[in-house]
Each structure stands twice: as structure tokens, then as C-alpha cells.
Amino acid sequence: MNMHQRMQSVAWSGFGVIVMLYALMPVAWIISLSLKRSADLNDQRFFPEVITFQHYQAIFKDAQFPAALWNSFGIALTATGLSVLLAMFVAYAIVRLEFPGKKWVLALVLAVSMFPPVSVIGPLFNLWRSIGLFDTWTGLVIPYMTFTLPLAIWTLSAFFKELPWDLDKAARIDGATPFQAFWHIIVPLAAPGIFTAAILVFIFAWNDFLFATSLTSTQTARTVPAAIAFFTGSSQFEQPTGSIAAASVIVTLPVIVMVLLFQKRIVAGLTAGAVKG
């Protein structure tokens, strides 16, 4: 039996190593591609023969990538702040207050989480053009904020349920208004949950491609995923593979580092919404 158990443990460890290699392979590949010399890009090898940073220098010399990076950061951060703020209010109402229509609020949240974004790009495209939001930060912040609300509301509700709400009651008995009790007592305690929701929302906004290609057309608001997909390269005679790879690495590494630093919270947040039902 002991022998059998040991064999099982070895088998699981082996499987673990395979899974980790599988998860890391595309990342390693894009990094290695970004470090190859232009002449070696077509050598069909996994690892670069000679390491060069020429592609990194090239993408920062060109104006399009730095502009896209700035747009991505600004738009994703603004959408994250707004989405988490609005979701905080809703989560508080759902967890702490009794009101008729709570079921309808939850149903609408669920409906939005299933909604296909491609169904609204046409109307938004037309609307944004007529009211001047096309190709602006606001034009992307609004859909990102909205489509991340369900995720933020679920994550925050799950965290809010775990808070010691007696403190809130005590504060209200002492004469604090519900809003004061919420802002001064609950928000600081809920900070880890709020932070988790913010990371998840940020990753969603950072990742989006459909709205970014449909609702922008120039450097003023085009974000990184759209910029990378339409990269023209530093010169028109050169395949932009190296530049694309370098840009990919630059936008991927910060998110990976963030996810690894806060992995426990992210896992808790990702599964909070889905499993409680």
C-alpha cells in the first residue's frame, strides 16, 4: 500500500511538472522570440542563438507603442476605479440592506455577465460617433466599467459577507449615519476585498480587444491589444514579428508579476462569484 501511495505521489508530481511546462511554454516562446535578432526570426528554433534587445529599442522609438501603453494604463485604471466604486455601493446594499427588488438587481447583474459584447458594438459605434465619444478614453471607459460590474459586485459581495458587521451596528447605535458607518468602519476592513476586485477588473479592461478595435481609430485612445494586432513595424520592409513579440512581453510581464504576488486573493476572488450559487 505504501509503495502504491508513493507511486501515486510520483505520478502526480510528474503531472504537475508537465502542467507547469505547458502553462509556461507560450510565455517562454514569446520572450525568446522578442530576444532573437531580426535575421534569426525565421530560424525555426525555440531559443534565440544570440540575444539582442533591438526590438525593445525599436518599439520605444516609434510613437505608436508608448501611446498605446499610456492609453491602456489610463483607461484600465479609470474604468477599474469607477467600476469598483459603483460595485461597492451595490454589494453593500445586497449584503446589508433589506429591500424589495433585490432579486431583480441580482438578475440584471447575472444578465449583464452573460451579455455578448459584440451585440452592442454597432449601436455604441454609431452613438459614440454622433455624441463625440468615438476614439476617446471615455468611450472605452464606459463599456469597460459596465461589463466588469458583475465581476466586481460578486467579488465584493462575497467579501462583504465575511466582514464583522457588528462593528457597523455598534457605530450606528453610537449615532453614526449608515453612510458614516460604511465609510469609516467597513471600507477600511474591506480593503483587501476591494483590492482583489480591482485587480480582476483591471485585468479584464487591460485584456479587451473587441471594444478597443471597434471604438477607436487613432493613437489618441487605441489601447495595447488593438495596437499590437495592427502593428506595422518600424520599417515597412521588415516583418514586425520581433516588435510584436517585444511589445507582448512588455504588456504581459507586469500583469504576471501582479498575479503571482496576489495569487491567493485572485483565486479567492475568481471563485467567489461562481461557487456560492
Q: What is the footprint of other proteins within residues 245-274 (CB under 8 A)?
A: 245, 248, 251-252, 255-256, 258-260, 263, 266-267, 270-271, 274
Residue 240 touches other proteins, criterion: CB under 8 A: no
Q: How far is the CB of 120 from other proteins (least distance, A)?
A: 4
Residue 175 touches other proteins, criterion: CB under 8 A: no
Residues 6+ apart with CB under 8 A from 50: 36, 37, 40
Could you say which residues in the range 106-165 bind other proteins, by CB under 8 A?
108-109, 111-127, 142-143, 145-147, 149, 153
Residue 110 to residue 105: CA distance in whole angstroms: 9
Q: Which is nearest to 238 in space by CA: 54, 47, 29?
A: 54
Residue 19 touches other proteins, criterion: CB under 8 A: yes
Q: Which is nearest to 152 in space by CA: 111, 193, 209, 123?
A: 193
Nearer to other proteins, 13 or 232 (CB): 13
Residue 231 to residue 244: CA distance in whole angstroms: 7
Residue 12 touches other proteins, criterion: CB under 8 A: yes
Q: How far is the CB of 220 from other proteins (least distance, A)?
A: 18
Q: Which is nearest to 269 in space by CA: 107, 156, 145, 146?
A: 156
Residue 70 touches other proteins, criterion: CB under 8 A: no
In 97-136, which residue ranges form alpha helices assigned H by DSSP?
102-114, 121-131
- Of 38, 207, 219, 234, the residue at the interface with other proteins (CB under 8 A) is 207
